[in-house]
Amino acid sequence: MTEGVHRDLTIPNNPEQNCIAERMNLTLVEMARSMLVNSKLPCSFWAEVLSTVTYLHNRSPTKAVAGILTKPGLGESLKLTD
């Protein structure tokens, strides 16, 4: 399969099988921890901070290849101009 979505099956509730998901979870937790410490908010805001971090991550561009910017989940490419 050269294009489209590739489906990998894993056991439910076991993110250790999927290195990409586990790495993403670690990244989100580290970003949330950093945001929480820098904002000096109490730990009771943990869920809201993690939700905000996930929102920001999902709307951030992930890679630019040869002048094309892609966003995760949108399935569309934007042409970058000089």
Question: Are the C-beta atoms of residues 70 and 62 closer than 8 Å to each other?
Answer: yes
According to DSSP, the residues that pair with 78 across neighbouring strands are 69
User: Which pLDDT tens digit goes with each residue over 26-46?
Assistant: 889 999 999 999 999 899 999
Residue 58 has a pLDDT of 84
Helices 46-58 and 19-39: crossing angle in degrees, nearest 10, is: 120
Quickly state the pLDDT bin for 68 (edges 50, 70, 90): low
State residue 52 phi and psi, 5-degree precision. Answer: -65, -45
Residue 45 has a pLDDT of 93
What's 2-34 look like in SS3?
A: CCCCCCCCCCCCCHHHCHHHHHHHHHHHHHHHH
52-71 average pLDDT score: 73
Residue 80 has a pLDDT of 54
Kindly report the pTM of this predicted structure: 0.57
User: Distance of alpha carbon 47 from its chain centroid, rounded?
Assistant: 16
